[in-house]
Amino acid sequence: MELKLLIYDLEINYLPGKEMHIADLLSRNYINNEFDKEINIEGVVHSINNTINVSKIAEATKHDLVLVKILEYYNEGWPKDKNKISGDIQHYWSLRNDIVVEKGVLYVKNKIIMPYSLRRLALQQLHEGHNGVNKTVLRAKQLVYWPGLDNEIKQYVLSCKICDRFKNSNTKEPLQHHQVAKLPFEIISSDILTYGGKDYVVVFDHYSKWLEIIKINFKTAQEVIQQLKKIFSTHGYPQTIYSDNQPYSSDVFKQFCVMYNINLLTSSPRYPQSNGTAERAVQTAKQMLRKADFEKKEILDILLEYRCTTLPQIGASPCELVMSRLLRTKFPVNENTLKPKIQVNDENRMLNYQANYKEYYDKRTKSKDEFNANDDVVVNDGRVWLPCKVLSKLDNYPRSYVVKLQNGQIVRRTSYHLRHTKGQHYVENYEDNDDIILGVSSNEEVVSKGSNGEITKTKVGRVVKIPTKLDIYDLSN
């Protein structure tokens, strides 16, 4: 605003309200838009500078000693003898027949050979969806190539502070068995997610793991139906919708399902807790929204990355499973990679995958860590993981540890709420400007007070009281 006004030479005069007809009209008939764009300009400029594109890669290739040599061999022919090539370039010898150059960019099997100077930035962009190591490796292998890529991704992801902070908590909803989906958008789960005071419809396709997160203004059946119809106009109407909560169990929604020949399965004596998958999809969606918020990114960009990322157990990404093609993101890509390929799935593999999902999932929830004094760990506060330090193990209490939080408080936590970390490190008096509420986990008895001794409240506003019998463990008192 200030910048925009600089071009004017302003003169300020007082005018009584009754004489100010135009201003009064404007003030009463203002446009109801939020203009917060100016604040974001810096962020936009920053992200444009940081976006990799083909000309940046071509420029960086010109300055990459290894790639310049490869370019030379590509144009003039490779030496007959591998041993006559210097060490760094020998790696590309076996790939020499697959290397192609287009507009100054080197490709091997349609993947960009990324110049050294852009690799870090590429890693950052390939990990924008904050997927785990496996998924990030698979995503990278769709688009880029360089020697040692897998290992670099592993290091990068394991030390990612955002991933570490927002990792799923150890507590997980039990998964229920569903019928097995044989087609995309045959069976979906849907639920309402409330995050940051806003409501979203979450839709999860059982076959492809395609995820939709759509903001809604009202949690009414009509609005949910409108949003679902938009999705179904692209993907077709599903045969089955799993859902538990309102407004899905309303009469209006039931009528909608009858009208479109959809089998609606909500919780009932026949299908108790039918919707473990929706619960899980909602958790995934919530994590995405948190990460987007934390990094000031758009949820739609994160969703697109998710949809393009290969599912390790199936070997194809949600968009390939649904649309038989990889979608273009802002990351530069060879057009051959984007050509539609009919995704023929081994039905048995898909059946096995869905049937084994529960087993795989349960296994992941069971692994428990052991901790030692002075270990840098993170503690789950019910929302995110925050750094803390292990002081000691409590002898008479199984899996219980005394830990020091960053605000200096000393509390007891069970291993259920602790996790080893590579991304975050304990720093005394570290200032965390999040309004994080500590210790509201349902199966944890000791809850800390605020750092200045003020009363801590739970998410629902309930004042947290420390049970007297456990006061001895709040060692800061």
Task: Write out the residues near Zn ion by the rule CB under 5 A.
Answer: 130, 160, 162-163
Nearest distance in Å: CB 240, Zn ion: 34
For 260, the token pair is 């479109």
**Residue 228 vs 302, nearer CB to Zn ion:** 302
Nearest distance in Å: CB 109, Zn ion: 27
Nearest distance in Å: CB 302, Zn ion: 11
**Residue 156 vs 242, nearer CB to Zn ion:** 156
For 17, the token pair is 């309200």
What angle do the packed helices 119-126 and 133-143 form, to 10 degrees?
120
Nearest distance in Å: CB 165, Zn ion: 9
Among all chains, which residue has been given the structure tokens 């629902």? 460
φ, ψ at 213 (rounded to 5°):
-130, 110
Nearest distance in Å: CB 65, Zn ion: 31
What angle do the packed helices 299-308 and 276-295 form, to 10 degrees?
120
**Residue 309 vs 354, nearer CB to Zn ion:** 309
**Residue 96 vs 330, nearer CB to Zn ion:** 330
Name residues whose C-beta falls within 8 Å of residue 348's C-beta, 6 or more positions apart in sequence. none
**Residue 72 vs 298, nearer CB to Zn ion:** 298
Identify each DSSP E strand in 217-311 by its residue range: 240-242, 263-265
**Residue 262 vs 304, nearer CB to Zn ion:** 304
For 236, the token pair is 């077709």
How far apart, in whole angstroms, are the C-alpha atoms of residue 293 and residue 197?
13
**Residue 100 vs 162, nearer CB to Zn ion:** 162
Nearest distance in Å: CB 50, Zn ion: 16
Nearest distance in Å: CB 122, Zn ion: 15
Cα atoms found within 13 Å of the Cα of residue 295, Cβ hemisphere only: 24
Nearest distance in Å: CB 153, Zn ion: 11
Name residues whose C-beta falls within 8 Å of residue 201's C-beta, 6 or more positions apart in sequence. 190, 191, 192, 193, 212, 213, 214, 216, 224, 227, 228
Instruction: Give per-residue burial for 448-457: e unless 16+ CB within 10 Å, then b.
Output: bbeeeeeebe
**Residue 162 vs 351, nearer CB to Zn ion:** 162
Work out the angle at residue 76's Cα, subtended by the Cα atoms of residues 73 and 80, and round it to the nearest 5 degrees.
Answer: 65
Q: Please spell the DSSP secondary structure of 107-152, one letter per residue.
A: EETTEEE--GGGHHHHHHHHTTT---HHHHHHHHHHHEE-TTHHHH
